[in-house]
Structure 1
Amino acid sequence: MTVAPGAPGRGLSPAQGHSPTSAAPAGTGGHPGSAQAVPPRAHRLLRAEVRRHKGRVAALFLCATAAAGAQLALPAALGHTLDLLLAGGAPGGRAGGWLAVCAALTCALVVLDAAETVLTGTLAARTTARLRTALTDRLLAVSPLRAGRFAHGDLVTRCTGNAAHAGTTPGSAASALAALVTPAGGVVALVLLDPRLALVFAAGIPLLVLLLRAFSRTSAACVARYQEAQAAVAGRLVEAMAGARTIAAGGTVERERRRVLEPVARLSEHGHRTWHLQGRATAQAAVLVPFLQLAVVATGGLLLSAGQLSVGGLVAAARYAVLAAGIGTLVGQLNALVRGRTAAQRLAEVLAVPALPQGTRTPPGRAEGGAGRLELRGVHASYAGEPVLRGVDLVVPGGSTVAVVGRSGAGKSLLAAVAGRLVEPDAGQVLLDGADLAGLRTAALRDTVAFAFARPVLFGGTVGDAIAAGAPARGPHGARVRAAAAAACADGFLRTLPEGYATPHDRAPLSGGEVQRLGLARALVRDPRVLILDDATSSLDTVTEHEVTRALWGGPDGAARTRLVVTHRASTAARADRTVWLDAGRVRAVAPHDRLWEDPAYRALFADDTGSGHG
């Protein structure tokens, strides 16, 4: 469908495979919801993922907590074993039993660590896959007009790197929560050994908490800006790859290289800033933690010399001081959570775009008198907040051919998109054989109304697959595909390809007109009741265009099919039953082409059309 990035009725939507990047700055999604403006959506998204994988999240939390418990029990067991050995206990007696306990705790730590690693990896993989699936489903469910607010490169970044970072968040949250057990348990153990040890350590806890709080606040903004710069690079790179031939032909390779890489400086700056913050927080913790450990050990030594603490108790106290100071290691955990939360905000921006509402009814079939009559009643439609169609009333009788003409920006392609419900109108109704399109099931509507575009994108591995992509039941080289190709005047050149219909795309040197004919065949393979052509013959020469339109409009099923044709050619309009003259989003006139041709303003629409003149 043709829509307008900068002005109503201009530009190309994703339906044609072109990125309307001018409509949205890369990395911002093209609307006010920046990474800092939508945290509630991100929180809801992450909470939903935690609930969806609650079994694995709970198992990971229990594993991590059990590992923390084993880690806390080990110093006490080692200290007690050491006291028994120093007291002259035999290795085979009580001391031997406690040595076995220490070995069992060590083995448990190894097993729990392995289980935690497996659970973390599988949870992240499943969550990432789920988020990517949700993004893909949403992008395919929204109207192309709404999806066009995101640059293609930006969407690639969101669906890959951002989804992967967000996918680690449930696991990181469970691990971080369990990780709090270790320092908390270390402080409790110090209290149990001697409250004075805990008091010495507690003096430094406020500094550690302030350190972590400052890190989480400052790193969030850096991570958000880093991800936006990352998206900007991806968006510009996708644009450059799509226009590689134009860049080469224009001799602008160096200029494009600088344009694509321009955000890399910002990317580097924000990346260095992020790692600087993490490094500084880690360094601060690394300075503070040894002082706390040294203070605890020194206090324990004084208690040992006073006979108030055993040697094993001092060993345990030294180890518990290390575990209690483990809050400093949460810097890495916090960094993962901040990165995941920021990425989730970017995913939430895409998921917040409303999908095209689904109806429940089926359009009336041919056996029920459905002739393919289209009716637009008081249709208003806008693009990027700007009104384009203004109160359009139009009837396309079943089985007729109606051409839509007008100057660039008049809203022709938006009218075609609304007529086939690729876009929801802001106001008004579109009826198919009396049934409101908004109440119809999308799958049933797509079987009834088919589109062909000026720049179709070919899907599948072969040219036959590209046609079969439109078939309800796919048979890449079946009779249905060949019949559709013949109706689009494509069968002849397809048979001349190296492997015919089985020729891969990269081995099929197709012209723009041949690609358009494949797009027409893809639309016809569904045997639609309504066919909407959005400048779908613009790349054909006059003779071929005449043959294609004659085949489409005069074939054996021609009378049973309704055709709405957006065109810039007078010859195409002349072959239609009547022509709709669209002017500034309003229907200026509806009449046969011959009658409209008497108006000089109408003739001026085709001043650049060298194909046929009056036709």
Structure 2
Amino acid sequence: MRTADRLVTRTLRHSGPWLYVLVFTSLAGALGELALPYVLGRTVDTLVAAGPASRTWLVTCGSVVVLIAACDVLGVWAAGGGGARATRWLRLRILRHVLGAGPAMTRRFPEGDLVTRMGVNADETGRAPESIVTGAALLVPTAGGLVALVLIDVWLALTLVAGLVLIAFVLRAFLSTTTSLAGDYQRTQADIAARLVDALSGACTIAAAGTEERERARVLAPLPRLRAHAMDMWRANAQAGVRAGAVVPLLEVAVLGVGGLRLAGGDLTAGELYAAARYVVLGAGLGAALGHVGRLARARAAAGRLAELTEEPAIAYGGLSLPKGPGTLELRGVGAGVLSGIDLVVPGGSSVAVVGRSGSGKSHLAALSGRLADPETGQVRLDGVPLPDLSAEALGAAVGYAFERPVLAGGTISGAVGLGVAETDGREAAVHAAARAACADGFVRRLPLGYGTPLREAPMSGGERQRLGLARAFAHGRRLLVLDDATSSLDTVTERQVSRALAGELGGRTRMIVAHRAATAASADLVVWLEEGRVRACDTHARLWRDPAYRAVFQPLPSPPVTGAGAS
């Protein structure tokens, strides 16, 4: 938990000025509570005696009460403000790291789990400063009560110290146990969230299959486990509360017993014994820290889950720019995932189709070509420069991606196509040109506000979304276009038009196209045929077509024969 504890400590520094307000109000309130018994006592004495100072003490008593109430109100405000600032810092930091790590993060953590960590867990961690400060403020009356007992009688103070040690052991054990239990509870919450996100992404399939009840049961299957973890936390809290609560009266009895012996020996007066009993109650107020310790335990567990995200390294970029070149792509001894020993040179400005059976590594090769992933072995170069040596700006301007199911981000259609393109005078013209090349300009102009139409107000078919995804890639990739099955939802006519644009106005760029159709492979200058993670052949489509095994790549696998009662 050291990493988690360091993250909790850092939230203190990012709570802003509210942290200092919370510290001041907590300390002032604690001092007020420590002074209140004495002020009340003097006020009662002067009122009973009807002395001239009664009004002064009455005003003093009222002022202390108002101070305590004001500190409570301002403390709640400061705790909320500081927690909000700390949570905001945590979410921005974690989100920046998650996006910086790229697809590797979503391969390791389900989307629902990531949302839970950056949502609920960040909020729980952000509350840590309040728990730490208000819990630590309880030490003020404890220390004050201990000092007062030392002044009255050292033996009474030693008796209180023994009781405080017992309370400290209870709180420490409670912190450790609750941190572990809270971690189990939070992991189960994330499991439910991940199942729910999966179900929502497949809502159409579930509705078509009529499996709503089965899916509901699958999503809620971890609920009994969640309840069990919640009950374990409740039991731990109850047990610690009983133990801490039992120590206080036992401590009072012990102090009164020791005080009685000291009184009998003439070493203590009756008034001092009474005062000692009151200060013991203040000194044992440390037992009230149980709630703060419980919240701190949940914050530590949540911080541990956030720290796990930072273990996935963010993509590191160099500082180089690309020299002038045609966009030659080289893969030398590349191995990653199913891919092994990939040696490939894609000439600049050429069109290369990557084909192969499902699982042969086509999408992985496409990801490595533009550095959506880094190879485990070997090196990928663009115009002679290793991709990790390029700056993020140089790589982003050189490579454009389009996917089978593009996710459109940005406020408007124009923002989605031009996402990441530098804001210049020619940006809109570049966006429109990219949309025309992707055959998206026509349907975009028919929208109510054209390119300014908000995405949420632009209902689109799968093919239209793919065309916008292609347009986004065309607006980016000045050297290399990587199209991972990015035309699968296009009709034949539109796909032919896009192919003409790739060979025409975009022909100066290197194009790597993951292909599933023979027609797409036939239009490429070169075909890379993958089989079980290796390059089986690299040639033109016409030459490869002579091989029956190559032709079989584009044909569906034969269905298994029907046997038994259903066979004819």
TM-score (norm 1): 0.83
Task: Give the direction of change, closer, same or farther, for the CA distance of 1:391–1:194 in structure 2 (3 Å limit).
Answer: same
Cα offset, 1:431, TM superposition: 1.4
How many Å separate the matches in 1 of 2:267 and 2:513? 98
Task: Give the direction of change, closer, same or farther, for the CA distance of 1:275–1:343 in structure 2 (3 Å limit).
Answer: same
Equivalent pair of 2:396/2:477 in contact (CA under 8 Å) = no
Partner of 1:371: 326
1:265 aligns with 2:224: yes
**Which digits, 9 at most, give the CA deviation of each residue in 1:517-551, with x for residues without a partner?**
11001111236221110110112222221111112
Please give the residue correspondences for 1:159-558 in structure 2 after superposition, counting only pairs within 5 Å. Answer: 159-195=118-154, 197-198=156-157, 201=160, 204-293=163-252, 309=269, 316-364=275-323, 369-382=324-337, 388-473=338-423, 478-526=428-476, 528-555=478-505, 558=506
Cα offset, 1:506, TM superposition: 4.7
| Aligned mate of 1:592, from 535, 540, 545 | 540
How many Å separate the matches in 1 of 2:116 and 2:468? 31
Task: Give the direction of change, closer, same or farther, for the CA distance of 1:159–1:605 in structure 2 (3 Å limit).
Answer: same
Farther-moved stretch of structure 1 (301-310 vs 432-441): 301-310
Q: Which secondary structure does the structure 2 equivalent of 1:402 belong to?
A: strand
Q: Which secondary structure does the structure 2 equivalent of 1:580 belong to?
A: strand
Cα offset, 1:289, TM superposition: 2.5
| Aligned mate of 1:583, from 531, 542, 557 | 531
Code of the aligned partner of 1:68: A
How many Å separate the matches in 2 of 1:505 and 1:561? 29
| Aligned mate of 1:71, from 29, 33, 41 | 33
Task: Give the direction of change, closer, same or farther, for the CA distance of 1:519–1:203 in structure 2 (3 Å limit).
Answer: closer
> 5+ unaligned residues in a row in structure 2: which ranges?
558-568
Cα offset, 1:362, TM superposition: 1.3
Partner of 2:560: none
How many Å separate the matches in 1 of 2:172 and 2:429? 67
How many Å separate the matches in 2 of 1:320 and 1:497? 76
Task: Give the direction of change, closer, same or farther, for the CA distance of 1:151–1:527 in structure 2 (3 Å limit).
Answer: closer
1:147 aligns with 2:132: no
Cα offset, 1:277, TM superposition: 1.8
How many Å separate the matches in 2 of 1:378 and 1:344? 40
Paired residues in the alignment total: 556
How many Å separate the matches in 1 of 2:46 and 2:3? 57
Cα offset, 1:361, TM superposition: 1.1
How many Å separate the matches in 2 of 1:559 and 1:545? 16
How many Å separate the matches in 2 of 1:475 and 1:75? 73
Farther-moved stretch of structure 1 (216-225 vs 334-343): 216-225
How many Å separate the matches in 1 of 2:104 and 2:417? 24
Equivalent pair of 2:241/2:290 in contact (CA under 8 Å) = yes
Cα offset, 1:173, TM superposition: 1.9
How many Å separate the matches in 1 of 2:424 and 2:294? 48
| Aligned mate of 1:116, from 50, 58, 75 | 75
Code of the aligned partner of 1:496: R
Cα offset, 1:315, TM superposition: 6.4
How many Å separate the matches in 2 of 1:345 and 1:539? 42
Equivalent pair of 1:452/1:532 in contact (CA under 8 Å) = yes
How many Å separate the matches in 1 of 2:322 and 2:304? 39
Cα offset, 1:310, TM superposition: 6.5
How many Å separate the matches in 1 of 2:172 and 2:435? 65
**Which digits, 9 at most, give the CA deviation of each residue in 1:220-252, with x for residues without a partner?**
221111001100111111111111111010011
| Aligned mate of 2:2, from 40, 58, 62 | 40
How many Å separate the matches in 1 of 2:234 and 2:348? 65
Task: Give the direction of change, closer, same or farther, for the CA distance of 1:54–1:486 in structure 2 (3 Å limit).
Answer: closer
Task: Provide the aligned C-alpha RMSD in A.
Answer: 2.9
Equivalent pair of 1:374/1:419 in contact (CA under 8 Å) = yes
Cα offset, 1:592, TM superposition: 1.0
How many Å separate the matches in 2 of 1:540 and 1:225? 46
Please give the residue correspondences for 1:57-68 in structure 2 after superposition, counting only pairs within 5 Å. Answer: 57=19, 60-68=22-30
Farther-moved stretch of structure 1 (226-235 vs 55-64): 55-64
Identical-residue share of aligned pairs (%): 49
Q: Which has the higher contact order (CA 8 A, sep 6+)?
A: 1
How many Å separate the matches in 1 of 2:165 and 2:231? 28
1:50 aligns with 2:12: yes
How many Å separate the matches in 1 of 2:348 and 2:129? 55
Partner of 1:25: none
Q: Which secondary structure does the structure 2 equivalent of 1:129 belong to?
A: helix
Cα offset, 1:392, TM superposition: 1.2
Q: Which secondary structure does the structure 2 equivalent of 1:540 belong to?
A: coil
Cα offset, 1:341, TM superposition: 0.5
**Which digits, 9 at most, give the CA deviation of each residue in 1:27-52, with x for residues without a partner?**
xxxxxxxxxxxx12212322333345
How many Å separate the matches in 2 of 1:85 and 1:316? 20
> 5+ unaligned residues in a row in structure 1: which ranges?
1-38, 383-387, 610-615
**Which digits, 9 at most, give the CA deviation of each residue in 1:389-443, with x for residues without a partner?**
2121111111111111111111111111111011111122211111121111112
**Which digits, 9 at most, give the CA deviation of each residue in 1:191-245, with x for residues without a partner?**
3234465456556445433432332232222111100110011111111111111
How many Å separate the matches in 2 of 1:165 and 1:224? 12
**Which digits, 9 at most, give the CA deviation of each residue in 1:253-289, with x for residues without a partner?**
0000000011111111111221222133223433442
Task: Give the direction of change, closer, same or farther, for the CA distance of 1:103–1:302 in structure 2 (3 Å limit).
Answer: farther
Cα offset, 1:293, TM superposition: 4.1
How many Å separate the matches in 1 of 2:262 and 2:345? 96
1:606 aligns with 2:554: yes
Equivalent pair of 1:42/1:348 in contact (CA under 8 Å) = yes
